[in-house]
Structure 1
Amino acid sequence: MPAAVLPALTPYLATAGIGWLYYRRIRRSFGRQRWQPKRTLARLLLVSLVAVSLIGAAVFLPHVGVSIGIGSVLGGVLGVFALKYTHAQVTDGQRFYTPNPWIGGGLSLLLLGRLAWRWSQGALAGGSAQAAQQANPLTLGIAATLIAYSLVYTSGLLLRMRQLAPAQTPSD
C-alpha cells in the first residue's frame, strides 16, 4: 500500500473501528452473556482511568464540574438499579448473566444520540486547538453518567458473580 493512501484512509478506518466498538458495547446490553472475569477486570481498570480523567476535567474546567457531578450521581443510581434487574446463573459449570436490556440500550442510545448531535454541529471536526472549547457541560455530564454507571455496574457484577457457586470442572 503506498504511503499516501494510508493517511487518506485513516478517517475511514478510525470510523469503522469506533463503529465496531459501539456494536460490541450495544451487543453486551442484550441477552445472556458469558461471564469473563479477566475481561471484566480489564474493563474496570480502563473505566477507572477514564473516571480519573473526568475528575481532572471537573477540577480544571470549573464550568463543567456540576454537570460531571450530577452525571456521576445519576450513573451510580442507574448502575445500582441495573444490578437489581440483572440475573446471574450457573449453567453447565459456566457462569452467565443477563443484563436489563432497557437500561443498557437506553444509555447506548443516549451516547450515540449525543455523538450524532455533536457531529452534526461540526464539533468533532476540529483539531486539538478546539478541544478546550468543546468541553461542553452536557457532553461531559453524559460521559460521567456512562462512566459512573459502568463503574458501579461492573463492580457490582464482579461481586455478584464471585458469590455464585464456583464453576465446576468436569471430572475425568
Structure 2
Amino acid sequence: MHQPQSLIYIVVGIFILYRVFLRVRRTIGWQQLNPGKMQAMAVIFSIVGLIFLVEGGVSPINLISDALGIAAGGALAYYGAMMTQLEQRGDGRWYYRPNVWIGSLVTVLFLGRLGYRFYTMYTMSQSGHSMAGGFNSFTGTASVSWTTGLMLIMFAYYVGYNLLLLRKKKHQPSSSVGIR
C-alpha cells in the first residue's frame, strides 16, 4: 500500500541529490559567464523569494527573521561577488570562479533547511498530526519563523550575486586576462 508513496520519495530524493550535485559542481572551478541566464535566474529567484516572504506572514518575529535572512544573503552576495575571479579567455568569452567557501555555506544552509523540513514533515506524519493548522505546506514551516529567513538567505544571495557579478563584469576592460 505504501509502495507508490515510497517510489515518489525515492524519485524526489534522486532529483534533489542531482540538483545538489549540480550546485556543488557550479561552486568549484571556472564557469562560463552567461549574462542572459544570470538575469533570468535573478528574476526567478526574486519572484520565488517574494512568494516565500509573503507566505511567511506579517508577525513581528517573522518580519525580523525575514529581514535578517535578506540582509545576510545580501552581505554574502556582496562578499562572494568581490571574491569571485573574472577572466576573459582567448575565445573572447568571460569566465568566473566563485569563492568555494561562500557558495558552500549557502548550499549547507539550504540543505540544512531542506533537511529540517523533511524531518518536520516525517515526524508530523509519524505522530498522526494533520499538517493543517500550524503547518504551512508551501514554505514547509511548522510555526517556526526562522526557517523562511534561512530560505531568504539563499534567494537574496543568488539574486544579489548574479546582479553584482554582471555589474563587475561590465566594469572590466574587454582585453583583461586573469582579473580578480
Range into which the TM-score falls when normalised by the shorter chain: 0.7 to 0.9
Query: Which residue, 134, 146, 162 being the options, matches 1:154?
Result: 162
Distance (Å, rounded) in 2 between the aligned partners of 1:25 and 1:131 = 27
Aligned-partner residue type, residue 136 of structure 2: A
Q: Give the drift of 1:49.
A: 0.5
Q: Give the drift of 1:116.
A: 2.4
Across the aligned residues of Structure 1 and Structure 2, the Cα RMSD in angstroms comes to: 2.7
Q: Give the drift of 1:29.
A: 1.2
Q: Out of 117-126 and 146-155, give the one that drifted further.
A: 117-126
Residue number in structure 2 paired with 1:140? 148
Q: How does 1:1-150 map to 2 (within 5 A)?
A: 9-60=7-58, 62-92=60-90, 93-122=92-121, 129=132, 130-131=135-136, 134-150=142-158
Residue number in structure 2 paired with 1:170? none
Q: Give the drift of 1:106.
A: 1.4
Unaligned 5+ runs, structure 1: 168-172
Distance change in 2, residues 1:120/1:87 (3 Å): same
Aligned-partner residue type, residue 13 of structure 2: T
Aligned-residue identity in percent: 24
Distance (Å, rounded) in 1 between the aligned partners of 2:36 and 2:114 = 29
Q: Give the drift of 1:59.
A: 4.5
Residue number in structure 1 paired with 2:178? none
For the residue of structure 1 that corresponds to 2:88, the secondary structure is: strand
Unaligned 5+ runs, structure 2: 176-180
Distance (Å, rounded) in 2 between the aligned partners of 1:27 and 1:134 = 32
Distance change in 2, residues 1:162/1:102 (3 Å): same
Distance (Å, rounded) in 2 between the aligned partners of 1:124 and 1:33 = 40
Distance (Å, rounded) in 2 between the aligned partners of 1:147 and 1:19 = 19
Distance change in 2, residues 1:125/1:22 (3 Å): farther
For the residue of structure 1 that corresponds to 2:29, the secondary structure is: coil
